[in-house]
Structures are given as structure tokens and as C-alpha cells.
């Protein structure tokens, strides 16, 4: 039965992808069912931007659902919630009025909350799973509160709950009121997207959820936050103000660097991927912020370029992040653990998983010729043209964003060398890893298909990027700065920059084959001799001698210790009879999360104190309650 | 046809010039400490000898270990086609600095994986340190790119070279020189030269790049050594031709190419002498002082960008 | 920094030509002609200390200095036996180092040669007969040449290496 539900979801996804692509290519339609939903009725509207995100959710749901048949096909629990989750995510981009949007959004959040709790409970750590679910629920509803506040303000000011009316009425609102609404909506959507400092739920919820759910949460759910930001900034509240772009640029740069720094030091494979999602959301936010800044400065072509780059990264991240989560799920399925300190050597036990993870790792590290490189390249090309902005402060913000993004890109390479190298290479560090088994066929099929999609998105960049630019042009009308030249070269802003991914791929393939030929021609000795690893003549090599995940990240812990603020604890147990004989040494050097410590803990403390004060009101005495009723009645009589 | 001829010629120049450059550097460094030193073409002899050895491959490793030398060489050969070596427009005419730096990062990624694959502590240490240095050098590269792109209104390498060729005095502009200094330090970090990493050390605890290749032997080692020599040559070529493109021809006519080659050889000789002198007189930095050096280069890049804005 | 360069340029090259006579005992484990063609112009040496008193190591260390400079002949020392063509073994091979020496030998790719340096490496030298010593490198790995001396001077080592390689001086 569960397998049937997943299969149906896959079909739903495929149908949605087709519908979305049709919508992208310019076949708009609307659907109104007034009686289905109170306070406005169900209203769906398809336009190119909605089409893109519907296609994205649908296309991601297909391989992930196939994967889920293999991963969770025998477990009843969670399959219906999964189907509801996917369906809700498909409705969110299409929603055309407040009620539809809020219902779909909340349904999506509730379904994923149920799935997070399920997955966390399966991990047999009740306290941690409750905490993960709790934080996720609180953050997502705090975000919803901000969203509703913003949307209700707009409804009150424009007199209509339909999004189309907001777009028409936006120029009539004052800049301050638009800014207020934008701030509320941005807070709400950024919470869903996972921008720092609103990201705290991501590293708890994504690892706890079952792997197919994590793939969708990281791959497409957080992108719906980006969708909301784009709608709010470019459609509902246009024209944009400069500080919106600057804020998103800074938030994006900080998210990118913070996310990857925490990813590098993590020993849990799925949490590493969750932090990496925060990094990539940062990259998308930088692109969006740049687009807003350019739009506010009346540079529509550059805004279009930045927006196309952000959309391309959204699509690419969905592809390679879902691939990575599926591969991580396969590791968990085969070994029973996500802890990298207990993994290793899996490339020999799980060759297909390893190959797919490697493709995902090369893609997310932004290395040619895969898709992460192309979208990061495109984002940089948009950022590097900021000299056309007249305001020097904006130039400074852009320079900071460029530096931050570059640092994040460099550190992402390190994070994924660690993720792939420690998990899959060398010797297994535990019996669980030594006895791992490969994933079943359906999971492998899903992973290979997604890996092929990553390659296709890169090689087909000269088709995909102009299509995305056309979608972006519906938000920022301008002639396109992206043209396709000879040899499928993408030309940006005339001759500012060019790239031909197929040419690079062909050149790389040739470059890798050329030494093979050269070695044959030079008559190099063809065979190899197998022997042990060089260990300075040591008599035994075990897995204890390998580098661990923590050791690999040690240089970063030292270089960035002002950021990680590790709390070193060293306990030395000596023999009672002589302090020169040490029985046990316990060394702990955990990194601390400064956002949690500096922002959330004080806020929670203040809230708790306020709640304790307010609890005085609930004394439990009926006489006091009757007195409240009397006072309230008197006040009402006075006011009325 | 012209493009094919240029591609082949440029690949040959990089492929054959790289061991010669490394050999010349070793000879220069030897002479500066009073030794006769090896002949400048010694690396060719070393490579030929390595081809005749049967590689010993550890049982702990996987296909990643055996594939990495080919990926490294492949990335360097593509970078050779993408860099302005003989003419201002390289054969891969669309190439920009971002593509070049990403190709180098591709090599570093796979080399770090190969270091981890053997399961020895040395390899892990080399990988860990190698990716730290590579990652921390990235912001400097991007800001130096930004400074150059601002001036030339393009990130295309050929465009940047041509911009300075049109206005030769641009090369001694303060912003340009600051970007050169920042990029020079990045070169030291990325190619593993002193003071970041000692290419001739035997102490594993002081190695970064060498530690990752301790397990390689025979033809694999030959490919890895060749790839790092090509990386050094490409970095020096970028420093020479991007920042001081005097003598870089625009067309593909043989006399112009010969002139370009001679000009490049002259600039590389000067850079090699400077590098040899620097490596002979400076001591290697402690590993945890290297980020300070890279932060210094980042500061230079920031100054360079500010100078471009201020002197617009 | 500039002062160092000035001194270097003023001092110039101080390398001495190698000695004419060489005292080398050929033990013939590999064909001399093959060694000459393969390693004549480029030899990577990995030095292995099999329990030596370090006297030979000090003399070997002098080979990399300006006076004896073995790099001018295409010889150089390497850190990993995987990179090596030649194992230069010193010491009488103590019992603790025997297995390590054997593993180093197998870790070195073929074709390779083993050169024993010093009297201890030949037959145990002054430590011959001790309970802790096996007595000579040839008991553990096949040896191609032996350079006698206690310790052999850098000139003798260099001449011996070149002779073992069949290099004309």
C-alpha cells in the first residue's frame, strides 16, 4: 500500500512537471472554486514564475518518490503525510489569494512536521526528536505569523485578498507602508527558506526526517520561501526599494558563509547537508538581493541577469541536494548510522551510492563541468557588474557579497571533500560500515536519474538559462542580457563574460583521455602491484590510523575559532596511587552556535520571564476571574 | 584551422614548458645557495624514469585514487587552452578567470580525495591542510578578478589582456599593482611554494601538497608531478600576461606567435628569478600563520578594488 | 633578505668535483647495464636507517650540501619509498627494524636497487654478533652494492653511488 501511494505521488509529480513547464512557456490559466475554501474561495493562477516552481516541485517529486518506494515502501507510517506534503507544495506557487496560500502553506508545514516527528522517533532518541519537531513547529509558525501579518495588512490597505489586485495597487501605497509589509513578508519567507539568523530549525529538522522527506524539504520546500520572496518583492510590492536589495545581499552572504562553516565541522552526514542547504540558500538570496538592488537603481537588464542566476541556482540546488540526500539515505539504509566517525570505505560496499554522491559533491562544490559551477558563475557575473550602480554604499555591499560568496564557494569544496572522503574512502571505521549493503534497485535508479539530471542541467545550460531568463522577464521586464552564441556559448551582457559548458565538458573529457593515450605511446609500464599503504614500516594498519571527520575540520576550527567559540573540556583521570599513571583522558571540543547563543537564548529567556510575570493573571481563583469579567464588562459599557 | 593550430601549439608550450620551468627553478635555487644544482631539464629525465616503473597501489584505495592523476592532467590541459599564453585570445575564447580558478579547484578536490583514499594519517593531513589553504585563497582571487574586470569591463581573459595592451600605462596603475601583489601571494599558496609549503621538504609534518601524493608511484606519480608543474606554469603565465601583457600578440601569424613566445619566456624568466630568490631567503610559515598571510593578500585585493573605484 | 642574496651571489658556487677512486663492493643482485640505462640520469633515493648509530646519516646529510651536491648528477632524496628507485640502507639491521626494512622494500616500486652504506650495513660492523642485531642488510633484502666505511665520507659515498650507477665521472 505505501508503495502505491509513493508511485501515485511520482505520477502526480510528473503531471505537475508537465503542467509547470507548459505554464513557464506561456500558457496562463486560472481556476476559481469559491465554495471550497472560506474567506475568499480557492483561487489558483498559473503564470511563468508559478509554472517554474510547480515544475520544480513536480520534477523533484518524481525521483524522490521512486526512491521512497525502495526506502520506505514497507512502512505504512508517513506515506499519506508525504503525499499531502507534495500536493500542498504544488498548490503554494499556484495560490492566487491569501486564504488559498495560507492553507496550502500551513498544510505543507504540518505535513512536514508530522514527517519530521516520524523520522525522529525512528531514530530512537526521544528527547532530541521532540526538540527537533518543537523547534521546527515554532519557527515555521512564527514565520507564518509574520506572513499573515504582512498579507492582512496588504489586504486591509488594498481592499482585496487577491494577489492580482495587490500587484495593481502597489504603486499607490507609500514607500514606508510597502517597506513594513516587505519586512514582515521577508521575515516569514526567509524563515521558510532558512536564511541566517532564522535558520535554526533546518539543522534539526532535515537530518531527523526520513531521507526522502529531507530530499524534498531541502530540495524544494525551502525554495518555496524564495518563491514567496520573489513574488512579494517583484510583484506584490513593486517598485523595489534599495534597502531591500542590500538587506538580502547581506543576509545571503552571511548565510552562505555561516552555513558552510558549520557544515565543515559537522560529523553527522545529513546535518552537514542541511547546513550546506543554508549556504546555497544564501547564494540564491545574494542573487535575489542583487536583482532587487539593480531593479531599484533602474538597471533592469542587470536585474534580469541576477534574477535568472538566482532561479538557475534554485533549480540546480534542487537537483544536486536531493541527489545528495538520497545518497545519504542510502548510506543510512545500508549501515544504520549517519555519523561520519563510524563510516568509511563505503565506496567498495556501495559503489553506486558512492558514484552518485561523488557527482552530487562535484556539483555542489561548484566545479566544472557540472551545474553548480554554471549557476555560481552566472551569479558572480551579475555581481561583478555592480559598478553601474551610482551609490558607493551599494558598491561596498556588493563587494562584501562577492567576497563572502567566494569564501563560501572555496569552503564548500572543503566541506564536500570531507563529506565524500571520510564517508566513502579508505577503511571502514566501524563494523556497521564494514558490513554495509548497497541500496535496492529503485533507490539506485532514482539516484542515477537525478545525477543524469545534474549533468543535463549543466550541458543544456544554453537552453535552460534563456528559458529561466524569460521567466525572470515576467518579473523584471527588460531585453535579455543572455544570448547564445556559437558552440552553444552563453554570452552575458554582450562581451562581459561568456561560457560554453559543452565545450568545457568536451575539453575535459579529451584532457582526461589524452594522458591515457600518451602513456600508451610512451610505453609506460601498464600493470600495478598491490601492497599495503605506506605507514613508515609500521606493522599494523587499522582504521584508527585514518584521519577522522573532526581531524579533517581541525584547521578550520582553529582558523575560525572566533566564530565557532569552541568550549574545550579536558578531563584527566589519574590512578589513585600515582598521578603519573593516567587511566583515562576525555577531551571535548564542541563548537557552539553563536546565533543560538547570542540571539535565541536571550530571546527565549526574556519570553520565559515575561510569561512567568503574565502567569500571575492565572491565579486559579474563581473570585478573581469573576472580577475580571466585571471589569471587562464595565470597560465595554464605557467604550461602546 | 587557426584555432586548432593555436590549440596544439599552446598545449605543447604548456606541457613541455612546465617541467622545464620547474627544473630551472631548482637550478636557480641551487645556484643561490652555492650548489651547482641539477640541469634545468632534469624533470624530463625524472618523468621518463618514472614511466618505466611499475606503480605500487595500496589495497585500501579505490578507483578514485587511480583516476585522480588523469583528472588532474585533464583539468590542467583544459586550463592551458583557456589561459592567454601565446595570444591575447586563448583557443577557448570564452574563458574567464572564474573558469580557470574553478579548473584548479577541480584538481585540488580530486587530489584531496586521493590523499584521503589511502587511509594514512599523512594523506588525511595533507588533504585537510590543502583544502584549507585553497578555500581561504578564494576570496582574494575573486576580488582581484573584480578589480581587473572593473577596469576592463569584462571577465573574459582575452578582453582583460587586450584592455591593458591598448593602454600600456594601465599596467603600472596602483590598483593594478596591488592586484598583482595579491595574486602573487595566491600563486604561492595555490602552487605550494614557500612560504606556504616547501616543495622540497621530507618532513611529513611540514607537507601540504607533498603529503597528498606520498602514495603515488610510477606513471601515476609522473602525471601528478607533471600536473603540478603545469599549474605553476599557468599561474606564472597568468601573472605575466594578465598583469603585464606587453608583447602578447593579438593574431595567430607565426612571426607574431614567436614574438609572443619570446616575450612570455622573458617575463617567466624574471618571475622565476624573483620566485627563486624569495624561496631561498624566506622561511616556511607555520601552518596556522598561513591564514594570516592569506588575510593580508585579501587586504591587498580590497585595497586594489577600492583604488579602482577611487581612481575611476 | 637582501643581505642573504648579496652573500650568496658573492660566494658563488662552491661545489667540488667528485673523487676519482671509489670503493664499492658490487653484490650483483641486479644487472649493471639495466641500472645504468634506467637510473643513470635520474635516481630517487630513500634513505633507511635500520638501527644505525647515525654516523652514516650525518655523512649522507653532507651529500645534499653545496660541497658534495648530489643533485647535479640527477640524484635526489625523497620522503616516501613509493617515490624511490634506490634504498640507501645504513645500520646493522637491528631486530626491531628488520620487518620495517622489509616493508619499505616491498613498498618501493620495481625496478629498484638497494645500496648498503657503511660497514654495519655490510655485515654488522662493530655491532656484529650482538643479540639485538641481525647483521647486514643482505640478510633481509637483496643488496646491489655496498659502500664500505665507518662511516664512509661524503666523497666516498658520492663516488660509490656514481660507481654503482655506472656513471662516468
Instruction: Give the tens place of pLDDT for each residue, A122-174.
Output: 766 667 778 888 899 999 999 999 999 999 999 999 888 888 888 888 888 88
Cell of C39: 637510473
For residue C31, what pLDDT band results from cuts at 50, 70 and 90?
Answer: low
- Inter-chain CB proximity C103 and A537 less than 8 Å: yes
Q: Which chains touch A (3 or more CB pairs under 8 A)?
A: B, C
- Over residues A552-566, the pLDDT tens digits come to 999 999 899 889 888
Cell of A424: 566513502
Q: How far is A358 from chain B (nearest CA, A)?
A: 10
Q: Is C1 exposed, middle or buried (0-12, 13-18, 19+ CB in 10 A)?
A: exposed
- Inter-chain CB proximity C109 and B204 less than 8 Å: no
Q: Which of residues 218-247 of B touch A (CB under 8 A)?
A: 218-219, 222-223
For residue B8, pLDDT over 70 is answered with yes
Between B35, B53, B203, which is nearest C71 by CB?
A: B35
Q: How far is A189 from chain C (nearest CA, A)?
A: 55
Cell of B216: 603515488
pLDDT at position A483 is 87
Q: Which residues in chain C have Cβ-Cβ distances shorter than 8 Å to A538?
A: 100, 103
- Inter-chain CB proximity B34 and C15 less than 8 Å: yes
Q: Which range, of A208-222, A330-344, B197-211, C13-27, averages the lowest pLDDT?
A: C13-27
Question: Within 10 A of A174 (CB to CB), how many other CB atoms are there?
Answer: 9
Q: Which range, of B83-92, C23-32, C43-52, averages the lowest pLDDT?
A: C23-32
Helix H, strand E, coil C: the string for A352-385 is: HHHHHHHHHHHHHCCCCCCHHHHHHHHHHHHHCC
Between A532, A534, A538, which is nearest C80 by CB?
A: A534
Please state whether the peptide bond connecting residue C143 to the residue before it is cis, i.e. omega within 30 degrees of 0.
no
For residues C141-145, average pLDDT: 91
Please state whether the peptide bond connecting residue C151 to the residue before it is cis, i.e. omega within 30 degrees of 0.
yes
Determine the 3-state secondary structure of B250 from DSSP.
coil
Report whether A401 contacts A252 (CB < 8 A).
yes
Between B57, B125, B127, which is nearest A421 by CB?
A: B127
Alpha helices in chain B (DSSP H): 2-32, 42-51, 63-82, 97-117, 121-152, 157-166, 174-190, 209-212, 218-243, 254-281, 290-310
The interaxial angle of helices B121-152 and B290-310, nearest 10 deg, is 10
- Inter-chain CB proximity C42 and B49 less than 8 Å: yes
Between B32, B48, B204, which is nearest C8 by CB?
A: B32
Cell of A68: 521512497
Alpha helices in C40-118 (DSSP H): 55-62, 95-107
Cell of C18: 667528485
For residues A389-403, average pLDDT: 90
- H or E element in which residue C86 lies: strand C86-90
Mean pLDDT of all residues in chain A? 91
Please state whether the peptide bond connecting residue A369 to the residue before it is cis, i.e. omega within 30 degrees of 0.
yes
For residue A472, pLDDT over 70 is answered with yes
The rounded distance, in Å, linking the Cα atoms of A379 and A219 is 19
- Inter-chain CB proximity B280 and C15 less than 8 Å: no
For residues A165-193, average pLDDT: 90
For residues A309-326, average pLDDT: 96
Cell of C61: 646529510
Beta bridge partners of A462: none
> Quick one: closest CA in A to C109, which residue?
A529
Q: Which residues in chain B have Cβ-Cβ distances shorter than 8 Å to C86?
A: none
Of A205, A364, A280, A330, the C-alpha closest to A338 is: A330
Supply the DSSP string of A399-425, one letter for each residue. HHHHHHHHHHHHHHHHHHHHHHHHHHS
Q: Which residues in chain C have Cβ-Cβ distances shorter than 8 Å to A532?
A: 103, 107
Q: Which residues contact B295 (CB under 8 A, 6 or more apart)?
A: none
- Over residues A60-85, the pLDDT tens digits come to 999 999 999 998 888 888 889 999 99
Q: How far is A535 from chain B (nearest CA, A)?
A: 7
> Percentage of residues in chain A with pLDDT exceeding 70?
99
**Per-residue DSSP letter, B199:** T
Between C1, C79, C83, which is nearest B217 by CB?
A: C83
Q: Is A613 exposed, middle or buried (0-12, 13-18, 19+ CB in 10 A)?
A: exposed
- Inter-chain CB proximity A367 and B136 less than 8 Å: no
For residues C92-106, average pLDDT: 94
Cell of B191: 602552487
Q: Residues of B near C (CB-CB distance < 8 A)?
A: 26, 30-39, 42, 45-46, 48-49, 52-56, 201-204, 207, 210, 214-218, 221, 277, 280-282
For residue C29, what pLDDT band results from cuts at 50, 70 and 90?
Answer: low
Of A406, A336, A330, A346, the C-alpha closest to A70 is: A330
Q: Which residues in chain A have Cβ-Cβ distances shorter than 8 Å to C82?
A: 534
Give CA torsion, residues A274, A54, A232, A138, to 10 deg: -40
pLDDT at position B73 is 96
User: How many residues are given for chain A?
Assistant: 640
> CB distance from B75 to chain A under 8 Å?
yes
- Inter-chain CB proximity B71 and A523 less than 8 Å: no
* B contact test, residue of C76, C83, C110, C154 with most B CBs within 10 A: C83
pLDDT at position C169 is 52
Cell of A351: 559503489
Between B51, B108, B143, which is nearest A402 by CB?
A: B143
User: How many residues are given for chain B?
Assistant: 312
For residue A42, pLDDT over 90 is answered with no
The rounded distance, in Å, linking the Cα atoms of A364 and A414 is 11
For residues A220-226, average pLDDT: 95
pLDDT at position A125 is 66
Taking CA atoms, B204 is separated from A89, A630, B121, B214, B227, in Å, by 53, 83, 10, 9, 21
Cell of A460: 543544456
> Quick one: closest CA in A to C98, which residue?
A537
pLDDT at position B148 is 87
- Inter-chain CB proximity A537 and C82 less than 8 Å: no
For residue B267, what pLDDT band results from cuts at 50, 70 and 90?
Answer: very high
Between C38, C72, C110, which is nearest B49 by CB?
A: C38
- Inter-chain CB proximity A539 and C82 less than 8 Å: no
Beta bridge partners of A123: none
Supply the DSSP string of A557-625, one letter for each residue. HHHTHHHH----EEEEEEETTEEEEEEEEEEE-----HHIIIIIHHHHHHHHHHHHHHGGG----HHHH
Characterize the bridge pairing of strands A569-575 and A578-588: antiparallel
For residue B44, pLDDT over 70 is answered with yes
Question: Within 10 A of A575 (CB to CB), how many other CB atoms are there?
Answer: 10
Q: Which chains touch C (3 or more CB pairs under 8 A)?
A: A, B
The rounded distance, in Å, linking the Cα atoms of A280 and A375 is 11
Q: How far is C100 from chain A (nearest CA, A)?
A: 4
Q: Residues of C near B (CB-CB distance < 8 A)?
A: 1, 4-5, 8-9, 11-15, 38-39, 41-44, 65-66, 69, 71-72, 74, 76-80, 82-83, 85, 107-111
Between C13, C109, C111, which is nearest B35 by CB?
A: C13
Q: Which range, of A237-251, B39-53, C22-36, averages the lowest pLDDT?
A: C22-36
* A contact test, residue of B46, B69, B106, B204 with most A CBs within 10 A: B106
Place of cell 613509493: C82
Between B53, B102, B119, which is nearest A373 by CB?
A: B102
Of C64, C1, C8, the C-alpha closest to B32 is: C8
For residue C143, what pLDDT band results from cuts at 50, 70 and 90?
Answer: very high
Report whether A450 contacts A326 (CB < 8 A).
yes
The rounded distance, in Å, linking the Cα atoms of C126 and A433 is 52
pLDDT at position A15 is 93
Beta bridge partners of A361: none
Q: How far is B153 from chain A (nearest CA, A)?
A: 6
Of C95, C24, C83, C80, the C-alpha closest to C48 is: C80
Question: Within 10 A of B302 (CB to CB), how many other CB atoms are there?
Answer: 20
**Per-residue DSSP letter, C44:** E
- The pTM is what? 0.94
Amino acid at each position: 500500500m505505501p508503495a502505491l501511494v509513493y508511485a501515485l505521488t511520482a505520477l502526480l509529480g510528473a503531471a505537475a512537471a508537465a503542467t509547470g513547464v507548459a505554464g513557464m512557456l506561456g500558457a496562463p490559466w486560472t481556476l476559481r472554486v469559491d465554495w471550497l475554501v472560506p474567506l475568499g474561495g480557492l483561487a489558483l493562477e498559473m503564470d511563468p514564475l508559478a509554472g517554474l516552481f510547480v515544475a520544480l516541485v513536480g520534477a523533484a517529486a518524481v525521483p524522490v518518490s521512486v526512491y521512497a518506494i525502495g526506502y520506505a515502501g514497507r512502512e505504512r507510517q508517513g506515506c499519506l503525510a508525504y503525499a499531502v506534503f507534495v500536493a500542498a507544495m504544488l498548490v503554494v506557487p499556484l495560490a492566487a489569494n491569501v486564504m488559498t496560500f495560507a492553507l496550502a502553506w500551513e498544510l505543507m508545514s504540518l505535513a512536514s512536521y508530522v514527517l519530521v516527528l516520524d523520522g525522529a522517533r525512528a531514530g530512537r532518541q526521544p528527547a532530541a526528536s521532540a526538540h527537533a519537531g518543537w523547534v521546527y513547529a515554532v519557527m515555521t509558525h512564527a514565520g507564518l505569523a509574520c506572513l499573515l501579518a504582512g498579507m492582512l495588512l496588504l489586504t486591509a490597505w488594498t481592499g482585496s485578498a487577491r494577489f492580482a489586485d495587490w500587484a495593481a495597487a502597489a504603486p499607490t501605497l507609500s514607500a514606508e507602508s510597502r517597506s513594513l509589509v516587505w519586512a514582515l513578508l521577508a521575515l516569514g519567507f526567509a524563515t521558510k527558506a532558512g536564511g541566517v539568523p532564522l535558520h535554526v530549525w533546518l539543522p534539526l529538522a532535515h537530518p531527523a526526517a526520513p531521507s526522502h522527506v529531507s530530499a524534498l524539504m531541502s530540495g524544494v520546500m525551502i525554495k518555496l520561501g524564495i518563491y514567496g520572496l520573489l513574488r512579494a518583492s517583484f510583484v506584490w510590492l513593486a517598485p523595489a526599494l534599495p534597502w531591500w536589495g542590500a538587506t538580502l545581499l547581506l543576509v545571503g552572504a552571511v548565510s552562505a558563509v555561516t552555513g558552510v562553516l558549520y557544515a565543515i565541522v559537522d560529523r553527522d552526514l545529513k546535518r552537514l547537508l542541511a547546513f550546506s542547504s543554508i549556504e546555497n540558500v544564501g547564494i540564491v538570496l545574494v542573487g535575489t538581493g542583487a536583482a532587487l538592488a539593480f531593479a531599484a537603481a533602474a538597471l533592469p537588464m542587470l536585474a534580469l541577469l541576477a534574477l535568472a542566476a538566482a532561479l538557475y541556482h534554485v533549480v540546480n540546488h534542487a537537483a544536486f541536494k536531493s541527489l545528495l540526500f538520497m545518497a545519504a539515505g542510502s548510506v543510512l539504509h545500508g549501515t544504520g548510522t549517519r555519523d561520519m566517525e563510524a563510516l568509511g570505505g563505503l565506496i567498495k560496499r556501495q559503489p553506486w551510492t558512492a558514484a552518485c554522491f561523488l557527482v552530487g559533491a562535484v556539483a555542489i562544490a561548484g566545479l566544472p563541468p557540472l551545474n553548480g559551477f554554471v549557476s555560481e558563475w552566472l551569479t558572480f557575473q551579475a555581481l561583478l557588474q555592480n559598478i553601474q550602480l551610482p551609490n558607493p554604499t551599494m558598491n561596498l555591499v556588493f563587494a562584501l557579497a562577492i567576497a563572502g560568496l567566494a569564501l563560501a564557494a572555496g569552503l564548500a569544496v572543503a566541506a564536500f571533500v570531507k563529506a565524500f572522503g571520510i564517508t566513502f574512502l579508505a577503511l571502514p571505521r566501524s563494523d556497521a560500515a564494514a558490513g554495509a549493503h548497497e541500496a535496492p534497485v529503485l533507490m539506485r535508479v532514482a539516484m542515477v536519474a537525478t545525477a543524469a539530471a545534474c549533468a543535463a542541467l549543466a550541458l543544456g545550460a544554453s537552453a535552460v538559462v534563456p528559458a529561466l531568463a524569460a521567466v525572470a522577464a515576467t518579473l523584471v521586464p527588460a531585453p535579455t542580457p543572455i544570448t547564445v552564441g556559437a558552440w552553444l556559448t552563453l554570452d552575458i551582457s554582450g562581451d562581459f563574460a561568456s561560457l560554453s559548458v559543452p565545450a568545457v565538458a568536451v575539453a575535459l573529457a579529451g584532457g582526461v583521455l589524452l594522458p591515457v593515450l600518451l602513456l600508451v605511446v610512451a610505453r609506460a609500464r601498464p600493470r600495478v602491484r598491490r601492497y599495503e599503504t605506506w605507514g613508515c614500516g609500521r606493522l599494523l594498519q587499522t582504521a584508527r590510523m585514518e584521519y577522522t571527520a573532526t581531524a579533517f575540520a581541525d584547521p578550520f576550527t582553529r582558523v575560525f575559532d572566533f566564530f565557532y567559540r569552541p568550549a574545550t573540556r579536558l578531563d584527566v583521570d589519574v590512578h589513585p596511587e600515582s598521578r603519573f599513571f593516567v587511566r583515562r583522558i576525555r577531551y571535548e571540543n564542541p563548537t557552539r552556535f553563536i546565533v543560538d547563543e547570542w540571539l535565541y537564548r536571550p530571546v527565549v529567556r526574556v519570553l520565559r520571564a515575561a510569561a512567568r510575570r503574565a502567569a500571575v493573571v492565572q491565579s486559579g481563583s474563581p473570585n478573581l476571574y469573576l472580577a475580571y469579567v466585571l471589569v471587562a464588562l464595565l470597560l465595554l459599557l464605557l467604550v461602546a | 584551422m587557426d584555432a586548432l593550430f593555436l590549440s596544439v601549439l599552446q598545449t605543447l608550450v604548456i606541457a613541455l614548458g612546465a617541467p622545464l620551468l620547474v627544473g630551472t627553478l631548482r637550478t636557480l635555487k641551487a645556484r643561490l645557495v652555492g650548489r651547482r644544482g641539477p640541469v634545468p631539464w632534469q624533470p624530463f629525465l625524472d618523468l621518463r624514469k618514472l614511466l618505466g616503473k611499475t606503480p605500487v597501489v595500496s589495497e585500501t584505495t579505490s578507483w578514485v585514487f587511480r583516476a585522480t592523476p588523469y583528472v588532474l592532467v585533464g583539468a590542467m590541459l583544459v586550463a592551458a587552452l583557456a589561459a592567454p599564453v601565446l595570444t591575447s585570445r586563448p583557443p577557448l575564447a570564452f574563458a574567464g578567470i572564474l573558469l580557470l580558478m574553478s579548473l584548479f579547484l577541480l584538481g585540488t578536490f580530486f587530489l584531496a580525495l586521493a590523499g584521503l583514499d589511502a587511509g594514512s594519517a599523512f594523506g588525511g593531513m595533507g588533504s585537510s591542510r590543502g583544502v584549507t589553504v585553497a578555500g581561504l585563497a578564494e576570496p582574494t582571487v575573486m576580488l582581484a578578478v573584480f578589480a581587473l574586470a572593473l577596469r576592463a569591463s569584462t571577465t573574459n581573459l582575452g578582453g582583460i589582456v587586450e584592455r591593458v595592451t591598448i593602454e600600456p600605462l594601465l599596467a603600472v596603475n596602483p590598483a593594478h599593482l596591488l592586484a598583482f601583489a595579491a595574486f602573487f601571494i595566491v600563486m604561492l599558496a595555490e602552487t605550494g611554494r614557500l612560504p606556504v609549503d616547501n616543495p622540497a621538504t621530507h618532513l611529513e609534518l611540514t607537507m601540504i601538497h607533498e603529503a597528498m601524493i606520498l602514495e603515488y608511484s610510477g606513471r601515476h606519480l609522473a602525471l601528478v608531478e607533471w600536473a603540478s608543474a603545469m599549474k605553476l606554469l599557468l599561474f606564472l603565465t597568468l601573472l605575466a600576461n594578465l598583469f603585464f601583457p606587453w608583447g602578447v600578440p593579438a593574431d595567430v601569424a607565426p612571426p607574431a606567435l614567436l614574438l609572443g613566445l619570446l616575450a612570455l619566456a622573458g617575463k617567466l624568466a624574471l618571475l622565476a628569478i624573483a620566485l627563486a630568490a624569495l624561496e631561498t631567503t624566506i622561511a616556511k610559515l607555520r601552518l596556522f600563520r598561513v591564514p594570516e598571510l592569506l588575510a593580508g593578500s585579501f587586504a591587498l585585493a580590497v585595497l586594489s578594488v577600492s583604488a579602482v573605484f577611487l581612481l575611476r | 633578505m637582501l643581505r642573504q642574496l648579496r652573500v650568496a651571489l658573492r660566494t658563488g658556487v662552491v661545489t667540488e668535483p667528485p673523487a676519482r677512486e671509489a670503493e664499492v663492493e658490487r653484490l650483483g643482485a641486479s644487472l649493471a647495464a639495466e641500472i645504468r640505462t634506467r637510473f643513470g640520469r635520474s635516481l630517487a633515493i630513500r634513505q633507511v636507517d635500520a638501527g644505525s648509530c647515525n654516523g652514516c646519516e650525518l655523512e649522507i646529510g653532507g651529500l645534499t650540501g653545496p660541497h658534495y651536491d648530489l643533485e647535479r648528477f640527477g640524484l635526489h632524496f625523497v620522503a616516501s619509498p613509493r617515490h624511490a628507485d634506490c634504498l640507501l640502507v645504513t645500520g646493522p639491521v637491528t631486530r626491531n627494524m628488520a620487518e620495517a626494512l622489509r616493508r619499505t622494500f616491498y613498498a618501493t616500486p620495481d625496478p629498484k636497487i638497494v645500496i648498503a652504506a657503511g660497514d654495519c650495513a655490510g655485515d654488522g660492523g662493530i655491532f656484529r654478533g650482538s643479540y639485538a642485531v641481525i647483521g647486514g642488510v643482505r640478510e633481509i633484502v637483496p643488496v646491489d652494492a655496498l659502500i664500505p666505511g665507518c662511516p664512509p665520507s661524503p666523497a666516498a659515498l658520492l663516488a660509490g653511488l656514481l660507481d654503482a650507477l655506472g656513471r662516468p665521472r
